[in-house]
Amino acid sequence: MKEQFYQYIQNLQDKITTALEKVDAKATFQEDLWERQEGGGGRTRVIENGAVIEKGGVNISAVHGPLPKTMQAYFKVEDVDFFACGLSLVIHPKNPMAPTVHANWRYFEMYDKQGKIVDQWFGGGQDLTPYYLFKEDAIHFHSTCKTACDKHDAEFYPTYKQKCDEYFYNAHRGEGRGIGGLFFDYCKATEDRSIDDWYAFVTEVGDSFVEAYVPILEKRKDLPFTKEHRDWQEIRRGRYVEFNLVHDKGTLFGLKTNGRIESILMSLPSNVQWRYNHHPGEGTAEAKLLEVLKKPVNWLEQ
């Protein structure tokens, strides 16, 4: 399974970076191949200062070795070895009318000292973070997520949409990071669903990403905007950074397993503002966004 999924994410990385370069039409992804001292490595691709994309990364990695003590405590296991591979991406467009997007699809195995698999699971998802809310974009993104889920189980979309709303939540701010999408983790084999079934589902979601996001980016990338719009985008990006550094489990895992720091922190935008006690004017588009972020919305009933 690990060879099969790693091959899949290599191909998916090519598909996504090609699609994004086509939309940007100016910048291309810079590729770095790297190795992890304890075992494994990855292929990082970063795009910066494009016509459409201010900063973005589409990274794959496959790492292995002894599970660090800090992570043994986290997973509540003894001295074991692990393998983890996945694709992680974040795209920060230049235009404030275009949303930031994040996605991740990953696979994990743990082994005893004889090399026998003692646990394995999939995880992942994709979520949208707009700075100015266009209802039709939210509906498109969530509809694409639901279509991918429904091919496997009608309960997947409502379940993983709720988990996404719960996970990507800045509790210290009392607001969602964005308008959600899908989030799933610890997808393990059961009597009803094999690990191959989970592979089919996760790759279905991965394959849906370009259709979920690129049409939105194409629609919004050339809209007019002012410095005030740009300021708001950078203030909201600050909240994005707060989530990634305070709450995100993937960032934590990378830092605790001696991951490549440049790849882990490539999700951080180039230009960010933190203004003291900032509140948008009542009735503005900015205030309306904050109102929506206070409580999850069922976008498919809008």
Stated pTM of the model: 0.94
pLDDT digits (tens, 9 = 90+) for 174-224: 999 999 999 999 999 999 999 999 999 999 999 999 999 999 999 999 999
Alpha carbons 37 and 161: distance in angstroms, whole number? 37
Alpha carbons 182 and 206: distance in angstroms, whole number? 11
Which DSSP helix (H) or strand (E) runs through 142?
Answer: helix 135-150
Instruction: Look at residues 157, 177, 154 and name the one whose alpha carbon lies nearest to residue 167.
Output: 177
Reported in sequence order, the residue ranges of the chain that DSSP labels E, i.e. its strands, are 30-35, 40-48, 53-66, 81-93, 100-111, 117-129, 169-170, 175-176, 180-187
Give the bridge partners for 32, in sequence order.
44
pLDDT digits (tens, 9 = 90+) for 102-159: 999 999 999 988 889 989 999 999 999 999 999 999 999 999 999 999 999 999 999 9
| pLDDT reported for residue 266 | 83
288-293, long-range: CB < 8 A, 24+ apart: 288/133, 289/130, 289/131, 289/132, 289/133, 289/236, 290/175, 292/133, 292/179, 293/175, 293/176, 293/178, 293/179
- The confidence band for 169, taking pLDDT boundaries of 50, 70 and 90, is very high
Alpha carbons 42 and 262: distance in angstroms, whole number? 12
Neighbouring residues of 167: CB distance < 8 A, sequence distance ≥ 6: 183
Alpha carbons 92 and 95: distance in angstroms, whole number? 9
As a whole number of angstroms, the longest Cα–Cα distance in the chain is 63
Domains of the chain: 2-269+279-301 (3.40.1500.10)
Higher pLDDT, 80 or 53: 53
Amino acid at the residue 104: N
| pLDDT reported for residue 251 | 86
Tell the burial category of 114 from Cβ atoms under 10 Å away from its Cβ (0-12, 13-18, 19+): exposed
Tell the burial category of 36 from Cβ atoms under 10 Å away from its Cβ (0-12, 13-18, 19+): middle
Instruction: Look at residues 235, 220, 127, 116 and name the one whose alpha carbon lies nearest to residue 181.
Output: 127
pLDDT digits (tens, 9 = 90+) for 246-291: 998 888 878 877 778 888 888 899 999 999 999 999 999 999 999 9
Higher pLDDT, 237 or 73: 237
Report residue 83 as tokens: 């393998």
pLDDT digits (tens, 9 = 90+) for 224-238: 999 999 999 999 999
Which residues are identified as catalytic?
A: 102
| pLDDT reported for residue 166 | 97
Q: Is the pLDDT confidence value at 38 over 90?
A: no
CA distances from residue 284 to 191, 280, 298 in whole angstroms, order as listed: 52, 7, 22
- Please state, rounded to an integer, the average pLDDT across all residues of the chain: 94
Alpha carbons 33 and 299: distance in angstroms, whole number? 39
CB atoms within 10 A of CB 69: 10
